[in-house]
Structure 1
């Protein structure tokens, strides 16, 4: 089973990758298209030179591997994808044979967290529009809505939500998903040194989130752009009972 987990940045995506990576039957791949995205756009991201040096930058080669078997003979190949990395012309045919899941987070939280690491994000950095477009595309190809799960619900009730997620994708729940060793995962991309500090200190999901953070005035247009996309997917999100 190949699982394509689509999110934007700062969406609990690394912690969820660690949860799947804690399963003995699962191999994980961290942001497969990141180097290809940087090579195509030339964006000045933190550690961009190291990302390009260490990771495959040919999107066709990445897509071929996404469609392939899990490494090391594992039964599950979990791929942590950023929606904003899927640029026009990148092959998406492999998604038709994957189980596509959409991980969402309220954009006020995404913007606040992203701004703390890389200042002044624009809508394309947040990835909400791209995530919604990918949702519509995969839904049309499959003839049904893909699974949607909200990071706030995972934080509030990790085991019930992971059980619901596993049931929705046809995978047996493994309690190992609730804990992982501190210090990172061998599958981390080289960018982990900049972005993953909090999750490297963790050994499981953090508790429920507090009130929404205030978004700086100059970033409110980014919030207003992202909110309709988030609300559209939020209406389809899993509940702890799988509905």
Structure 2
């Protein structure tokens, strides 16, 4: 590690603005971004435990082992004052020990109704994943890893961002986040260029999976984070109706979400 280099990682459930947050960090221009390293291993690598993508041609890569991504994340990268990784918590369920403890771990959460509603839309189109099963305990797992970061990694209480707060007050939330993780805030983090091909970002680990193929990535609703230019206009999107499946999942998740929500960054 180079002197004064910040190494930061953010964990979230799916559909929680994490790609937009990675774009915000990338727009600092001093930051090397690692795209979903552990999720790529357990979805597209030789030891994968998630199998939903196995029928999609060309998305697997045998090099994606935990040792491979951990080694690259551990290199000095002397030209990057900030190293930033974003990943989904489902990648490390029952496998917390694979995670590098020398990164400062932080969290991004989203109200369960909104998260499950967003994934329901996604599962009806591009990704045939049963969210009711795959993500039933996702907020509970976030809580477990939050405690793991404190009790096992020995880090102080990790910063938590709520997606609603981020959309309502991006400058306030991001500037406070930067203060808490020890990097300078810059207004560059509020705006970025719209792009069509994620490869132009030069993020590590985007050479694998559906994001690496335009025929699939353009159909993903995460592509909105690439074509967007910021976090929005400060107005929260609200749904008037939710399916019974979404409501049931959200009700189950609420106690775990509310615990993290109480601990979130407030400005």
Task: Tell me, yes or no, whether TM beats 0.5.
Answer: yes
C-alpha spacing 1:212/1:237, structure 2 compared with 1 (3 Å): farther
Q: What CA distance in whole angstroms lies between the structure 2 residues aligned with 1:48 and 1:37? A: 15
Q: Considering only aligned residues, what root-mean-square deviation do their CA atoms show, in Å? A: 2.3
Match of 1:191 among 186, 207, 210: 210
Q: How does 1:130-149 map to 2 (within 5 A)?
A: 130-140=141-151, 141-142=153-154, 144-149=156-161
Misfit runs of 4+, over 4 Å: 46-49
Task: Choose 120-129 or 177-186, whichever is displaced more.
Answer: 120-129
Aligned to 1:52: 60
Aligned to 1:237: 264
Q: What CA distance in whole angstroms lies between the structure 2 residues aligned with 1:232 and 1:175? A: 30
Q: Where in structure 1 are there 5+ consecutive unaligned residues? A: none
Q: How does 1:1-243 map to 2 (within 5 A)?
A: 1-38=6-43, 39-45=47-53, 49-53=57-61, 56-70=63-77, 73-89=79-95, 91-92=97-98, 94-95=100-101, 97-119=102-124, 120-122=130-132, 124-125=134-135, 127-140=138-151, 141-142=153-154, 144-183=156-195, 184=198, 185-187=201-203, 189=206, 190-192=209-211, 193=217, 194-195=219-220, 196-207=222-233, 208-212=235-239, 214-240=241-267
Give 1 or 2: higher helix fraction.
Answer: 1
Q: What CA distance in whole angstroms lies between the structure 2 residues aligned with 1:90 and 1:132? A: 12
C-alpha spacing 1:137/1:43, structure 2 compared with 1 (3 Å): same
Match of 1:63, SS state, is: helix
What do residues 148-204 of structure 1 show as CA deviations (whole Å, max 9, x unaligned)?
111111100111111000001111101111111101433273533143221122111
Q: Where in structure 2 are there 5+ consecutive unaligned residues? A: 1-5, 125-129, 212-216
Q: What CA distance in whole angstroms lies between the structure 2 residues aligned with 1:19 and 1:143? A: 24
